């Protein structure tokens, strides 16, 4: 165990070096994580415990997950089943690996190779158990909001932690939590530092300008919903300093954190930028190509200046988590233009 | 039919039907324990049924698959019996709790309770379903009072009710921040996440109601002769009708509270039962009940297996069987 802790420190240094300059090309968090696990393997081969390793509290340790539950982690988990895209990404962000995942997980590529255990909303409990995991990482948002499913998952004879994200702050909490679970506090701290630097850089890019934007998703009837500040993307926009006229609209429509946006309101807002997110898979047209085709929207500033921008579906909507780094870098690049 | 088609002969048909359907149900049960996202050997499946131990086979067989199979049987028996009672009391071969909107009215009250309470217990949900089922059954009773409404008119009234209640359910769930993925299982009908907890919550309602239906079967036979004859034979027609529809409300409501809006089970099962054992309610009801249990248990097994490790909502499969059957009835029997 000490060896692993030592190795994790090596890994942390690696990602730290890469991430000193936050305005440089965005660092791929999972790449750092991969480096970490390689370092882990290398260091395990050559036992070289350093003085620092003794400072890390030994296992078993008790962690508090994102639903406020105290969970005892016996040792660094080796066979992990993560049942939402966010949960999977947290594990990889601190150098872990998984043996099972929810159906839609496609990132990171290594995770896609893991066993499919059914959709995040209806995971197959028997598939999870069949993998004989030593830890289940469930989603504090998806499963925390379904009392019966949550009770079922908690009742399994396997330790469970809940980690998810509804906001920027949640992501940092989640990374820290997984850092404790994996005895990789340094990797977690380095990644958090990187994310915080990316936020600073994005804010700096906006300095002295006033940019307003709405972030839109559309349902199958093409009704438009605007992200409020309580949504993940809306929260990021607020952090970065983008003015969002829909931020504090009342709740309307089925999507938590989004409000049904009447076309008139969009015309009234006339934001500098329009972000779009399209949940429907290709070849469905992206929402940013549809907006300019809607006649009343042709006069919008964002349409005439061709600043209707499609955001990455996973990073901004489906898998809120450590890739908030990519999200912040993307926002920085957009507002820097 | 020749005179030789005697009572004894019909009794034998019932025995044979119960035996065959029972055997198929047992087969479906064995399949339900073995098959799923993970295949479990027959011997391990049996071992999983034996108490003691917390190993994988035991967990999967006893904590996941067995309660689900029981839920499926209870739901199937409840819906098919509700359908048989409805067809009998309205003298309408197209009657079914889904088609007449009784499932949807149960579902609406359940959805209201879900939205208001956030985390209701299984018993609260069952009670909500029963309340909604009674409202739906009362509405049908009002429309069909006296049993003289033409089958198509009653069916169309039911379609209107079902559409209204379903729209209200969607409106409620859509405005309530619950995830759309969760709603699908409820709106189409499915048994994902069944546990012993649910079996314990619904069995105390469904089992007595099934017995009650059997006790009413003699009077329903008389009622089928028409109100005047029934009255002259000493059957209190109105009271029988009210009691029957109350049972329909209880059976439908509890089934909907665990499985959502499963459609067509109550339509198909009684017709198959009548085909097998004739229309005497005393024989038709038990046969219909067993056929319903078989139908839902098998549909649920298929729903778990076809897309593994994900699953289809089971109601899609009952609808796939039931909808063509309804079309057949409309073409041939009405």
Q: Please check the confidence at residue A44 and state whether its pLDDT lies above 70.
A: no
Are residues A218 and A174 part of one domain? no
Beta bridge partners of A215: A275
Measured between CA atoms, the residue of chain B closest to residue A124 is B309
Cβ separation B309–A124 shorter than 8 A: yes
**Does residue A226 sit within a domain?**
yes
Q: How far apart are CA A99 and CA B27, in angstroms?
A: 34
Q: Which of A11, A50, A46 is nearest to A31 (CA)?
A: A11
Would an 8 Å CB–CB cutoff place B59 in contact with chain A?
yes
Q: How far apart are CA A43 and CA A83, in angstroms?
A: 30
Edge-to-edge strand order for the sheet containing A224-227? A258-260, A224-227, A213-218, A273-277, A308-310
**Does residue A20 sit within a domain?**
no
Residues 98-157 of B with CB under 8 A from A: 118-119
Average of per-residue pLDDT values in chain A: 83
Out of B36, B175, B176, whose CB is closest to A126? B36
Q: How far apart are CA A198 and CA A176, in angstroms?
A: 17
pLDDT single digits (tens) B163-211? 999 999 888 877 665 545 556 667 788 888 888 989 999 999 999 999 9
| Structure confidence at residue A31 (pLDDT) | 41
| Structure confidence at residue B171 (pLDDT) | 82
Q: Please check the confidence at residue B126 and state whether its pLDDT lies above 90.
A: yes
**Does residue B151 sit within a domain?**
yes
Phi, psi of A101 (to 5 degrees): -150, 165
| Structure confidence at residue B85 (pLDDT) | 95
Q: Please check the confidence at residue A41 and state whether its pLDDT lies above 60.
A: no
Q: What is the mean pLDDT of residues A321-330?
A: 95
Residue A225: which residues within 8 A CB-CB, separation 6 or more? A216, A217, A218, A219, A253, A255, A258, A259, A260, A261
Are residues A171 and A258 part of one domain? no
Contact between B103 and B97 (Cβ < 8 Å): yes
| Structure confidence at residue B68 (pLDDT) | 93
Cβ separation A122–B118 shorter than 8 A: no
Are residues A265 and A151 part of one domain? no
The fraction of chain B above a pLDDT of 70, given in percent, is 91
Cβ separation A152–B193 shorter than 8 A: yes
Cβ separation B36–A124 shorter than 8 A: yes
Are residues A324 and A226 part of one domain? yes
Q: Please check the confidence at residue B2 and state whether its pLDDT lies above 80.
A: no
The fraction of chain B above a pLDDT of 90, given in percent, is 47
pLDDT single digits (tens) A118-142? 989 889 999 999 999 999 999 999 9
Handedness of CA B250, B251, B254, B256 (dihedral sign): negative
B226: containing domain? 71-333
Are residues A212 and A178 part of one domain? no
Measured between CA atoms, the residue of chain B closest to residue A129 is B56
Q: How far apart are CA A299 and CA A306, in angstroms?
A: 11
Are residues A221 and A175 part of one domain? no
> Distance from B279 to chain A by nearest Cα, in Å?
42
pLDDT single digits (tens) A301-324? 999 999 999 999 999 999 999 999
Longest dimension (CA), chain B: 64
Cα A156 to chain center, whole Å? Answer: 26
**Domain boundary pick from A183, A198, A222:** A183
Q: How far apart are CA B101 and CA B156, in angstroms?
A: 10
Cβ separation B60–A126 shorter than 8 A: yes
Q: Which of B263, B146, B286, B115 is nearest to B215 (CA)?
A: B286
Are residues A257 and A309 part of one domain? yes
CATH number for position B150: 1.10.3470.10
pLDDT single digits (tens) A181-230? 999 999 999 999 999 999 999 999 988 888 999 999 987 667 889 999 99
Would an 8 Å CB–CB cutoff place B36 in contact with chain A?
yes
Residue B297: which residues within 8 A CB-CB, separation 6 or more? B25, B28, B29, B32, B69, B72, B73, B76
**Does residue A215 sit within a domain?**
yes
A173: containing domain? 61-183
CATH number for position A124: 3.40.50.1980
Higher pLDDT pick, B46 / B84: B84
**Does residue B45 sit within a domain?**
no
Q: What is the mean pLDDT of residues A66-93?
A: 95
On chain A, the residues whose CB falls within 8 A of the CB of B185 are: 122
Average of per-residue pLDDT values in chain B: 87
Contact between A261 and A275 (Cβ < 8 Å): no
**Does residue B252 sit within a domain?**
yes
User: Which structure tokens are listed for A327?
Assistant: 């999200």
Higher pLDDT pick, A7 / A259: A259
pLDDT range class, residue A21, cuts 50, 70, 90 = very low
Q: Please check the confidence at residue B162 and state whether its pLDDT lies above 80.
A: yes
Cβ separation B309–A122 shorter than 8 A: no
The count of structural domains within chain A is 2
Q: Which of B232, B286, B182 is nearest to A123 (CA)?
A: B182
**Does residue B25 sit within a domain?**
no
How many other β-carbons are positioned within 10 Å of the β-carbon of residue B222?
18
- Say whether A243 sits in a helix, a strand or coil: strand
Which single residue is written with the structure tokens 């069952």?
B126
Confidence (pTM): 0.78
| Structure confidence at residue A36 (pLDDT) | 42
Are residues A241 and A152 part of one domain? no
**Does residue B208 sit within a domain?**
yes
**Does residue A101 sit within a domain?**
yes
The count of structural domains within chain B is 1
Q: How far apart are CA A47 and CA A40, in angstroms?
A: 11
Q: Please check the confidence at residue A286 and state whether its pLDDT lies above 70.
A: yes
Are residues A96 and A170 part of one domain? yes
**Does residue A48 sit within a domain?**
no
Q: Which of A211, A207, A247 is nearest to A227 (CA)?
A: A247
Contact between A275 and A215 (Cβ < 8 Å): yes
pLDDT single digits (tens) B300-317? 999 988 887 778 888 999
Would an 8 Å CB–CB cutoff place A157 in contact with chain B?
yes
On chain A, the residues whose CB falls within 8 A of the CB of B177 are: 251, 254, 256
- Write the ipTM: 0.72
Cβ separation A121–B38 shorter than 8 A: no
| Structure confidence at residue A251 (pLDDT) | 74
Measured between CA atoms, the residue of chain B closest to residue A145 is B178
Residues 131-150 of A with CB under 8 A from B: 132, 142, 145-149
Higher pLDDT pick, A70 / B1: A70
Cβ separation B185–A130 shorter than 8 A: no
On chain B, the residues whose CB falls within 8 A of the CB of A100 are: none
pLDDT single digits (tens) B246-283? 999 999 999 999 999 998 999 999 999 998 999 899 99
Q: Please check the confidence at residue B324 and state whether its pLDDT lies above 60.
A: yes
Cβ separation A121–B195 shorter than 8 A: no
Q: What is the mean pLDDT of residues B59-67?
A: 89
**Does residue B9 sit within a domain?**
no
Residue A260: which residues within 8 A CB-CB, separation 6 or more? A223, A224, A225, A252, A253
Residue A292 sits at the vertex; the CA angle it makes with A288 and A294, to the nearest 5 degrees, is 115
């Amino acid at each position: 165990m000490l060896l692993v802790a030592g190795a994790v420190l090596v890994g942390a240094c690696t990602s730290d070096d890469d991430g000193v300059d936050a305005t440089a090309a965005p660092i791929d968090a999972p790449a750092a994580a991969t480096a970490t696990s390689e370092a882990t393997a290398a260091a395990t081969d050559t036992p070289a415990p350093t003085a620092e390793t003794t400072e890390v509290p030994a296992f078993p340790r008790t962690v508090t997950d994102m639903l406020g539950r105290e969970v005892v982690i016996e040792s660094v988990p080796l066979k992990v089943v993560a049942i939402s895209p966010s949960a999977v990404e947290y594990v990889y962000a601190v150098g872990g690996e998984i043996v099972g995942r929810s159906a839609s997980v496609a990132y990171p590529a290594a995770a896609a190779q893991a066993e499919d255990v059914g959709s995040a909303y209806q995971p197959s409990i028997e598939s999870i158990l069949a993998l004989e995991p030593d830890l289940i990482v469930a989603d504090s948002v998806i499963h925390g909001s379904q009392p019966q499913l949550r009770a079922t998952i908690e009742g399994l004879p396997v330790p469970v932690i809940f980690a998810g994200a509804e906001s920027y702050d949640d992501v940092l909490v989640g990374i820290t939590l997984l850092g404790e679970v994996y005895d990789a506090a340094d990797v977690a701290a380095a990644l958090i530092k990187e994310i915080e630097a990316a936020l600073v850089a994005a804010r700096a890019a906006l300095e002295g300008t006033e940019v307003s934007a709405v972030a839109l998703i559309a349902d199958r009837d093409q009704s438009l919903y605007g992200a409020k500040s309580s949504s993940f993307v809306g929260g990021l926009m607020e952090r970065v300093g983008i003015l969002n006229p829909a931020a504090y609209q009342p709740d309307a429509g089925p999507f938590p954190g989004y409000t049904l946006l009447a076309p008139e309101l969009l015309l009234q807002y006339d934001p500098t930028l329009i972000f779009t997110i399209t949940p429907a898979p290709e070849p469905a047209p992206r929402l940013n190509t549809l907006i300019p085709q809607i006649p009343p929207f042709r006069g919008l500033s964002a349409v005439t200046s061709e600043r209707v921008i499609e955001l990455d579906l996973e990073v901004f909507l489906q898998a809120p988590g450590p890739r908030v780094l990519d999200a912040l870098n993307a926002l920085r690049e957009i507002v820097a233009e | 039919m020749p005179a030789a088609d005697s009572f004894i002969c019909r009794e034998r048909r019932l025995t044979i039907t119960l035996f065959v359907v029972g055997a198929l149900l047992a087969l479906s049960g064995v399949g339900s324990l073995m098959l799923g996202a993970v295949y479990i050997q027959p011997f391990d499946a049996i071992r999983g049924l034996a108490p003691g131990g917390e190993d994988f086979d035991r967990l999967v067989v006893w904590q996941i698959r067995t309660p689900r199979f029981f839920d499926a049987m209870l739901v199937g028996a409840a819906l098919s019996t509700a359908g048989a009672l409805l067809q009998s009391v309205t003298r309408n071969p197209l009657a079914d709790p889904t088609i007449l909107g009784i499932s949807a009215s149960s579902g609406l009250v359940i959805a209201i309770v879900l939205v208001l309470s956030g985390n209701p217990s299984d018993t609260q949900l069952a009670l909500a379903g029963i309340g909604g089922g009674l409202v739906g059954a009362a509405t049908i009773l009002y429309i069909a009072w006296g049993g003289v409404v033409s089958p198509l008119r009653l069916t169309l009234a039911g379609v209107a009710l079902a559409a209204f209640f379903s729209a209200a359910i969607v409106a409620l769930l859509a405005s309530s921040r619950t995830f759309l993925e969760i709603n699908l299982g409820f709106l189409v009908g499915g048994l994902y996440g069944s546990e012993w907890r649910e079996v314990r919550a619904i069995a105390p309602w469904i089992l007595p109601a099934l017995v009650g239906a059997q006790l009413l079967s003699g009077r329903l036979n008389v009622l089928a002769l028409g109100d005047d004859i029934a009255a002259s034979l000493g059957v209190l027609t109105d009271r029988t009708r009210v009691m029957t529809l109350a049972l329909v409300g209880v059976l439908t409501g509890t089934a909907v509270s665990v499985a959502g809006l499963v459609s067509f089970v109550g339509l198909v099962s009684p017709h198959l039962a009548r085909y097998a054992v004739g229309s005497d309610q005393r024989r038709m009801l038990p046969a219909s009940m067993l056929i319903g249990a078989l139908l839902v248990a098998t549909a649920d097994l298929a729903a778990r297996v076809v897309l593994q490790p994900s699953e289809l909502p089971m109601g899609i499969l009952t609808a796939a069987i039931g909808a063509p059957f309804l079309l057949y009835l409309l073409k041939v029997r009405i």
